[in-house]
Amino acid sequence: MSAIDDTHDAGRRSWVESAKHPGCDFPIQNLPLGVFVPPGETRARVGVAIGDSILDASAWVPGETLNGYCALPPVQRRDLRRVLVKVLEAGAPARPLFAQSECAMRLPAAVGDYTDFYASIHHATNVGKLFRPDNPLLPNYKHVPIAYHGRASSLVVSGTPVARPSGQLAEGKFGPTRELDYEMEVGLFVGPGNALGDPIPVARARDHIAGLCLVNDWSARDIQRWEYQPLGPFLAKNFATSVSPWLVTGEALAPFWTAAPAHDVPTLPYLQEPEPGAPDITVEVWLRSPVMSAPVRVSRAPFREMYWTPGQMVAHHTSNGCPLAPGDLIASGTVSGPDKENRGCLLELTAKGADPVRLPSGEARTFLEDGDEVTLTGYCERPGFARIGFGSCAGAIRPSR
């Protein structure tokens, strides 16, 4: 695992002016990696976000994806962080930068496999209540991390428009979904990974988390309701999943790991993490309808409240010998907390449409309408440490094709 070291010193400053602003997502203590295409070019390369800019990092991380970076052993990921700190800290010679606003971003990795968990007990309970008021939480929930295999081919980078999908909505009914929803999630990019048949022990799981990002698991609730039994989500989810462009490294997150909530049933030994395993990330959802000039925040939730941690997800996923490869994406499931303002999707927030969200424009929403734009943001804050941001994960709804 990565420890707190001098690269996390809050007093450290960059020569990049915009990285010094207190509310900045990308101070020198963060240094997230991404894949960008500079203006006027077509070839993608690896860069590091600093303030409102990007430093070309292709000299240290070659290639057009971060898969090679993810495959590095943790000690080499730490060494790279040290190099980037040296290059960007005040006193080092200034280098050419690209403005983030002028660059096109790509997905951070070529994702071979994508898995989505269901790790928020608050989300599972709230959704369960809507469908089974007497028995909201299924009996397996506190014992086994629940997940399904998603679809890597429809992962898109933040900013990509999302077309309203059509599908079977009920018996005899095919057409555009009427219940289009977002799910606010945190994703993890798999590090070195494991060979077939070779489980990753929970004590080593954090070495296999190269970094985290934000994920919007767009969901069509009417399609989902009709198709999900007995095998789980299929076409209700795999039409598009948005991913934020910056991989916030496990090393940058070192100061923000906290103890996960206590379990009131015994956790099997293969899932018992030796160290605090819950990253303290606040995640937010912002919504803007076509008539609104600025987005409004509709929810905010603490990721540290998740019942299962990223390390437990990795250990569980590989416990049967299933191989994970560098750059695979594992999402957490909808991040919800105990309070109403913590609900990470519209299904929960509006209680299945019974209690619409009121927007400052005077409009109301039960589910998303064409032209609506959803933006996820995330950040870590702890007294004595620099704020670490995740950037954003945005997508606007286009009419069905």
> Which residues, at least 6 apart from 391, have a Cβ–Cβ distance to it below 8 Å?
25, 26, 32, 49, 158, 214, 244, 245, 246, 377
Tokens of 184: 């606010």
Query: Between residues 182 and 257, which has the closer beta carbon with respect to Mn ion?
Result: 182
């519209």: which residue's tokens?
Answer: 346
> Which residues, at least 6 apart from 377, have a Cβ–Cβ distance to it below 8 Å?
214, 283, 284, 286, 389, 390, 391, 392, 393
- Report phi then psi at 353, rounded to 5: 100, -5
Lay out the site mask for Mn ion across 97-136 (x = CB under 5 A, - = otherwise). Answer: -------------------x--------------------
183 binds Mn ion (CB under 5 A): yes
3 state DSSP class of 353: coil
Lay out the site mask for Mn ion across 278-317 (x = CB under 5 A, - = otherwise). Answer: ----------------------------------------
Query: Between residues 186 and 315, which has the closer beta carbon with respect to Mn ion?
Result: 186
Measured over the CA atoms of residue 88, residue 91, residue 93 and residue 95, the dihedral's sign is positive
Lay out the site mask for Mn ion across 201-230 (x = CB under 5 A, - = otherwise). Answer: ----------------x-------------
Query: What amino acid is encoded at 298 in this protein?
Result: V
Q: How many residues bind Mn ion (CB under 5 A)?
A: 3
Q: What is d(CA 55, CA 96) in angstroms, rounded to the nearest whole number?
A: 7
From 122, 123, 316, 317, active-site residue: 123
372 binds Mn ion (CB under 5 A): no
Q: What is d(CA 217, CA 136) in angstroms, rounded to the nearest whole number?
A: 22
Burial class (CB in 10 A: 0-12, 13-18, 19+), 122: buried
β-pairing, 180-181 with 219-220?
antiparallel
Measured over the CA atoms of residue 65, residue 90, residue 52 and residue 74, the dihedral's sign is positive
Q: Between residue 49 and residue 78, which ones bind Mn ion under the rule CB under 5 A?
A: none
Query: What is the closest distance, in whole angstroms, from the C-beta atom of residue 333 to Mn ion in the complex?
Result: 5
Q: Which residue is nearest to Mn ion (CB)?
A: 217
Query: What is the closest distance, in whole angstroms, from the C-beta atom of residue 56 to Mn ion in the complex?
Result: 34
Query: Per CB under 5 A, which region of 6-14, 105-113, 181-189, 320-328 contacts Mn ion?
Result: 181-189
- Report phi then psi at 123, rounded to 5: -65, -50
Query: Between residues 45 and 221, which has the closer beta carbon with respect to Mn ion?
Result: 221
The reply to whether 8 belongs to the active site is no
Query: Between residues 147 and 254, which has the closer beta carbon with respect to Mn ion?
Result: 147
Query: Per CB under 5 A, which region of 30-38, 98-106, 176-184, 318-326 contacts Mn ion?
Result: 176-184
Query: Between residues 104 and 156, which has the closer beta carbon with respect to Mn ion?
Result: 156
Query: What is the closest distance, in whole angstroms, from the C-beta atom of residue 381 to Mn ion in the complex?
Result: 25
Query: Between residues 183 and 372, which has the closer beta carbon with respect to Mn ion?
Result: 183
348 binds Mn ion (CB under 5 A): no
Catalytic machinery residues: 123
| Site for Mn ion, rule CB under 5 A | 116, 183, 217
